[in-house]
Structure 1
Amino acid sequence: MKHAHLSKFYRLTVPQRLELLRERGILDSDDFAALREGSYRLEVETADRLTENVIGVFSMPMGLGLNFRINQRDYLVPMVVEEPSIIAAVSAAAGLIARSGGFTSVAQSPLLLGQVQVLDLADPEAAREALLRRKGEIVDLANEQHPNMVARGGGARDIEVFLRGTTAEHGELLVVHLVVDSRDAMGANLVNTMCEAVAPLIEVISGGRVFLRILSNFTDHALVHARTVIGIDRLKSDTFSGERVRDGIIVAHEFAAMDVYRATTHNKGIMNGIDAVAIATGNDWRAIEAAAHAYAARSGRYSPLTAWSKNKHGDLVGELELPLKVGIVGGQVESNPLVRIAHNILGVDSAAELAQVMAAVGLAQNLAALRALSTEGIQTGHMRLHARSVAVAAGASGPQFNDVVDRLVAGGDIKVAKARQILQAMTPPAAPALTPAPALTPVPARATVTEDTAGFGKIILFGEHSVVYGYHAIAAPIGLSIRAQVTRREEAGSDLIIPGFDSADSADSDLPVRIAALITERLGIRGSGMRIEVFPNLPRASGLGASAALAVAIIRAMASCFDIPLTGREVSALAFECEQIVHGTPSGIDNTVATFGQPILFRKANGARDAEFSIVTAPHPIPIIIGITGVRSLTARTVSIVRTVWTKSPSRYDAIFEQIDGLALTGVGALERGDLAELGDLMNINHGLLNALQVSSPELEALVALARRSGALGAKLTGGGGGGAMIAIAEPDRTNAVATAMRLAGYTTYLTEISAATAPSASGPWAG
């Protein structure tokens, strides 16, 4: 039995992958040679015999979907698709499902329908009864056209007769369905031939006139059902609990069940996988698509093809049902060498088995999409994949390729022209990475308010913790933000929907609800009917200001929905009250940056309304590397730790706070000069003082040390500490190297920059 799990397959070169498949017995010597030498390619002369007006042969990548265990059998699934995220995502989801027991998949007999249209009937009901009485004659006549199919156990099985309503000029429409078992062939030509043959007999029996005679691609007599059950312990990640992932997937499915716009995209994702297998195996993916979408609308309302729920044990249950009439024999399979190789790799013995595999692929693809959408979001990974395509278009190859991709993602300007600029500047080409790393997540160079329902994340350059006690701090926005949308509804009360946003502490799991309740009360709309949808793109409990960004986003969305005018100061002040729920004694710096989206020098006064802050300018963009330790930490806890030690010895800790205050004020000058070396020194000192406050952690110390060893001028924790995030600064030509070293060590890494700020206009986000 082949093994569907090929460890670190993606790390190998194409020749190495082929060699591994040959060693495992998945490729025989002929297929191995064909793939290695390229002789599998369809020749133009052959293509000219397959379709019309041929001028060339179009190529697409073929990869393998890994880790599939279906009905207790392992499969490697060939997939032809141009989007790399599809194969990567489906392989990961299949691995998760395999560890939970795999898929069960059942396919009906592979039946096709041929339709014969009958018009101009004198007595439609009598014609219908006569056709049903003589169906044996009709079936026998159909089977005379293909005795070999009958000998293989297939052929026409039955007829169905329907009256469909009155036509404009030809009376009642009668339709005869010829039900045909085409066995392992797709069967389109077979059915069309049978329909042509029985048409004269149908005219004689019915007394009407036959017009159209053709197969139907709505193959609802060839349904396939795939199912999986996944324990919540398999769903958890470093960031999300299993329950949170499970419930997020179910909520995402409910969205598709209630909204045709979402259902369309939901089902498109399913077909991403199914179509890729259909193309690889030489099947008519257009017919498969048509049947799937018709089946999704069979109730009169377009609905998702999958269903996700939880069973009595709390496990996630996924099911997919759709029509799949496919074939494993016929001209298309035999005429294209690569299709034949794909069938050899897949190793299915019947069309029904192929349908079972394809349904499992569709279910896995849907799981991958819903899991991404309801947790980290889908755009992060897509940006890097888009950068790969752009790098190829620009001509990057060999040692240059990965470096061009890294630089595109880091800069956030993922365009072919930019990739070409990067290529021209690379002298000599950078060496390729020896080992893979998680995607370097792009962050726009400068946070800008693109809509009035956004709350920005932040980093603190200097002044964590001391800022709570009235000392200065410098903070800057990052491009990661949280958005919200509020819509009114007739029934009282509010629904808060936040896919992918959970708490680091189960005791604080109701914080978003409490925040929303406070906002509705302060805005005077408590009890109003509304639906609050939050779209997070910011790591939680990482010291990047997620709770303040959440509050600002909800405030702005509610104010917009209910036409409540608010100044920036008023938004920030209300967000400060929300921060008191989360952190107890916040400084006000998070809500200020979340609201205004500008680099600031901040000092706490009597409250958020009285806070002192001013814009900090820089002569040129200053790159900042953000590293996430993976250890979640609530700022309220570390603030409490510092308050405890400060209460015991105020003078000792006030002295530390004063030193940090001096670093922040000195840092303003360094920023305004763009002095990276000075900023790095100040960051290193600030980190040491924060360590003295006992708010660092082993994970933070390891990541800070790694950044410095890799060439960072300075590195320190940012935010509350105790885990969460750190930041580093390096010379521009070393920034990517530092980020890459952190990524290769397994840390999630972001690149952003502090840009030269401009004075706000009266109509801008600082108004009021």
Structure 2
Amino acid sequence: MMKQIQGFSKLSKQDKIEWLATHFFQNADLAKQTLMQYWNSNQQLQQLHDEFTENTISNLYIPFGVAPNFLIDGQFYSLPMAIEESSVVAAASNAAKFWQSRGGFKTEIIGTEKVGQIHFTFNGQADFLFSQFNSLKQSLIETANEVSANMIKRGGGLTTIDLIDKTDALENYYQIHACFETLDAMGANYINSCLEAMAKLWENELNAALANSTHKLEVVMSILSNYVPNCLVKAQVSCPVSALAKDQDKAKQYAQKFVQAVQIAQVEPYRAVTHNKGIMNGIDALVLATGNDFRAVEAGVHAYASRTGTYRSLSDARIENDEFIFEMTLPLALGTVGGLTKLHPLVKLALEMLGNPNAQELMRIAAVCGLAQNFAALNSLTTTGIQKGHMKMHLMNILNQFQATEEEKTTIAKMYENKTISHTQVVETLNAMRDAAN
């Protein structure tokens, strides 16, 4: 059976589903029913979702949860979180509750600069290239400014451009490295427009100057970078070691073990990857709920975690003068205008829930969400172990997988209230209950 098709994008949504169901699913009718039952009954809203991407056939719903009681820089927030993983929202909420009575979370914006690059090749002398760049630099800036008129009015725009010789890494490879302030926009489209306009001028002017030469300049591509090491936010919690637990010996032991756990993630990449993944559980959930690009954030954050040449923990913990300090600095290029922020109804509600923050405020909130998630994970790992809490939250997923009734769910949840949960044991318990009932 042929599984190729021409002109798929031109088919109606119904015809796309019909073709897929016929060629890829054993039960075509069930496949069609499943896809269509996730359509939104509001046709106008469904059309909006359809137009977010290409070849839309259905909607994949992700739970939209809330973690309340976050005290951030003296103000309380309830954080919207879109995530399917059990225990993430609960863990964030528990961390918020723990730190609420210990001064809450403090944040600091270190920088907001974004980056874009024009990548090109040149087979002539570097001195000539740099001389031409110095001559054309003002024209390049003015070209970017023409694209930036609205951004400049609001206080943003191109901040610096530099020519960088990368021929030691790749033959004939150079780049124009540009930095931008994009204010409340994430800025991808704006930056790319500026770069392409500058690249056109650069390529035309240089090749005109090289008209009687065998040398040539060729622009390969112009694109923003999702690595933004100068767009940084810091989040921190701190309290006296004695405030971590009622028993002073236990408080001291807890703090020391917590610090050791973070130190391990700073020197052991295998641990650091999972450690940072836990941070991103919180950040991704909030970034997704607020209509931002979590893939871009992930890429930039993990690159930053490798900036020393070794992948390591994003967070740091220490004890100074009997003060427990837990903090994190990371790059977050976020926006509160553009993209889905004004299109997706739930995104608009998520931002309103946060008080309609500007981009810097959203950076602060997202960083706190990540630090809270990291604290909750390390708290479990260094005390009860991660599985007790995680599997408790996962219990309903197991029961739903085996289509447990409400009565079965209630009974089994009570049975495992004070027990460590395993998938095998839950299934065996459910089967035993059903056997006894029969």
Q: Relative to 1, partners in 2 of residues 1:45 and 1:391: Cα closer, same or farther, differing over 3 Å?
A: same
Q: 2:394 matched to 1:392?
A: no
What corresponds to 2:4 in structure 1?
none
What corresponds to 2:167 in structure 1?
165
Shift of 1:284: 0.4
Opposite residue 200 of structure 2, the aligned amino acid is P
SS at 1:50 equivalent: coil
Opposite residue 212 of structure 1, the aligned amino acid is M
Q: Judge conservation of contact 1:42–1:336 (CA < 8 Å) in 2.
A: no
Q: Relative to 1, partners in 2 of residues 1:69 and 1:95: Cα closer, same or farther, differing over 3 Å?
A: same
Pick from 127, 131, 134 the counterpart of residue 133 of structure 2. 131
Q: Judge conservation of contact 1:131–1:205 (CA < 8 Å) in 2.
A: no
Q: Relative to 1, partners in 2 of residues 1:125 and 1:425: Cα closer, same or farther, differing over 3 Å?
A: farther
Mark the structure with the bigger radius of gyration.
1
What corresponds to 2:230 in structure 1?
221
Q: Relative to 1, partners in 2 of residues 1:167 and 1:412: Cα closer, same or farther, differing over 3 Å?
A: closer
Give the Cα separation in 1 of the matches to 2:429 and 2:193.
54
Give the Cα separation in 2 of the matches to 1:216 and 1:152.
23
SS at 1:84 equivalent: coil
Shift of 1:160: 2.6
Shift of 1:144: 1.1
Q: 2:381 matched to 1:379?
A: no
SS at 1:93 equivalent: helix
Query: Where does structure 1 lack aligned partners over 5 or more consecutive residues?
Result: 1-37, 429-768
Q: Judge conservation of contact 1:110–1:351 (CA < 8 Å) in 2.
A: no
Q: Relative to 1, partners in 2 of residues 1:90 and 1:123: Cα closer, same or farther, differing over 3 Å?
A: same
Number of aligned residues: 388
Q: 2:93 matched to 1:83?
A: no
Give the Cα separation in 2 of the matches to 1:265 and 1:272.
10
Shift of 1:162: 1.6
* 1:194-242 deviation line (CA, Å, top 9, x unaligned): 1111112222455522111111110112111112212223321679711
What corresponds to 1:256 in structure 2?
265
SS at 2:327 equivalent: strand
Opposite residue 181 of structure 2, the aligned amino acid is D
SS at 2:330 equivalent: strand
- Structure whose residues are more often helix by fraction: 2
Identity of matched residues, %: 34
Give the Cα separation in 2 of the matches to 1:303 and 1:382.
24
Give the Cα separation in 1 of the matches to 2:361 and 2:235.
12
Q: 2:371 matched to 1:363?
A: yes
What corresponds to 1:244 in structure 2?
253
Pick from 53, 56, 59 the counterpart of residue 57 of structure 1. 59
Give the Cα separation in 1 of the matches to 2:150 and 2:420.
63
Q: 2:290 matched to 1:281?
A: yes
Shift of 1:424: 3.8
Q: Judge conservation of contact 2:391–2:420 (CA < 8 Å) in 1.
A: no
Q: Relative to 1, partners in 2 of residues 1:84 and 1:233: Cα closer, same or farther, differing over 3 Å?
A: farther
Give the Cα separation in 1 of the matches to 2:272 and 2:42.
38
Give the Cα separation in 2 of the matches to 1:115 and 1:175.
6
Shift of 1:41: 11
Give the Cα separation in 2 of the matches to 1:277 and 1:198.
35
Opposite residue 71 of structure 1, the aligned amino acid is D
What corresponds to 1:342 in structure 2?
350
Q: Judge conservation of contact 1:260–1:303 (CA < 8 Å) in 2.
A: yes
Q: 2:275 matched to 1:266?
A: yes
Pick from 428, 431, 436 the counterpart of residue 421 of structure 1. 431
Shift of 1:331: 2.9
Shift of 1:183: 1.2
Opposite residue 304 of structure 1, the aligned amino acid is S
What corresponds to 1:558 in structure 2?
none
Pick from 302, 307, 314 the counterpart of residue 305 of structure 1. 314
Q: Judge conservation of contact 2:395–2:421 (CA < 8 Å) in 1.
A: no
Give the Cα separation in 2 of the matches to 1:87 and 1:42.
31
Shift of 1:366: 1.2
Query: Where does structure 2 lack aligned partners over 5 or more consecutive residues?
Result: 1-39, 208-216
Opposite residue 360 of structure 1, the aligned amino acid is V
Cα RMSD, aligned residues only: 2.7
Q: Relative to 1, partners in 2 of residues 1:237 and 1:289: Cα closer, same or farther, differing over 3 Å?
A: farther
Shift of 1:258: 1.4
Shift of 1:386: 2.1
| Counterparts of residues 24-173 of structure 1 (less than 5 Å) | 43-132=45-134, 134-166=136-168, 171-173=171-173
SS at 1:51 equivalent: coil
Q: Relative to 1, partners in 2 of residues 1:118 and 1:355: Cα closer, same or farther, differing over 3 Å?
A: same
SS at 1:343 equivalent: helix
Opposite residue 324 of structure 1, the aligned amino acid is L
Shift of 1:342: 0.7
What corresponds to 2:334 in structure 1?
326
Opposite residue 365 of structure 2, the aligned amino acid is V
Q: Judge conservation of contact 1:124–1:172 (CA < 8 Å) in 2.
A: no
What corresponds to 1:530 in structure 2?
none
Give the Cα separation in 2 of the matches to 1:358 and 1:322.
10
Q: Relative to 1, partners in 2 of residues 1:251 and 1:422: Cα closer, same or farther, differing over 3 Å?
A: same
What corresponds to 1:192 in structure 2?
192
* 1:94-143 deviation line (CA, Å, top 9, x unaligned): 22222121222112453221110120241224423542454332122112
What corresponds to 2:37 in structure 1?
none
Give the Cα separation in 2 of the matches to 1:379 and 1:42.
43
